[in-house]
Amino acid sequence: MDSSFTPIEQMLKFRASHHEDFPYQEILLTRLCMHMQGKLLENRNKMLKAQGINETLFMALITLESQENHSIQPSELSCALGSSRTNATRIADELEKRGWIERRESDNDRRCLHLQLTEKGQAFLQEVLPPQHHCLHQLWSSLSTAEKDQLEHITRKLLTRLDQMEQEGTVLEALR
């Protein structure tokens, strides 16, 4: 069975055979990472959809569950999700509609609002997390512990380099 990446790899090989200066391995590795990220996301979205939730709502629940007292201010949720405050309000509205969170006034400052994970929200997470964890174990079982450690090290190294290049403006400089 061919990999879903085979057509991309064939295209890259063709291009490399016609252009001596084509950085084949660098482009291959970049495209492999992008392709795998897309497949991981597609797989995750299918699983979440089957569980009746989308990625954004799920991450909001996980963010709340990971906070002390399972409570967070809407602005902090917005920041944690990397979304606008308007979008965070929509997310909170949907979570509240499903009974997974409640909006509560702060004990210290009545002007301050907190989003509180409810028992129903906690129960939902306890229901959906085990199948997700099982699926992740199945996926990553194809690698040994040493391979997973190596992949983590290499991925972190590349991420550090990407952050560095972003700070230095390297990508924009290459375009000049």
pLDDT digits (tens, 9 = 90+) for 34-52: 999 999 999 999 999 999 9
**Average confidence (pLDDT) over 125-130:** 95
pLDDT tens digit sequence for 131-146: 999 999 999 999 999 9
176 has a pLDDT exceeding 90 = no
Contact 113, 74 (CB under 8 A): yes
Tokens describing residue 59? 């991450």
Contact 118, 102 (CB under 8 A): yes
**Average confidence (pLDDT) over 114-136:** 95
Average pLDDT, the chain: 92
Contact 92, 116 (CB under 8 A): no
Contact 89, 74 (CB under 8 A): yes
pTM of the model: 0.77
Q: Which one, of 65, 48, 81, lies nearest residue 126 by Cα?
A: 65
54: Cβ contacts below 8 Å, ≥ 6 apart: 45, 48
Work out the burial of residue 122: count CB atoms within 10 Å of its CB; fewer than 13 is exposed, 13-18 middle, 19 or more buried. Answer: middle
Contact 56, 91 (CB under 8 A): yes
pLDDT tens digit sequence for 43-94: 999 999 999 999 999 999 999 999 989 999 999 999 999 999 899 999 999 9
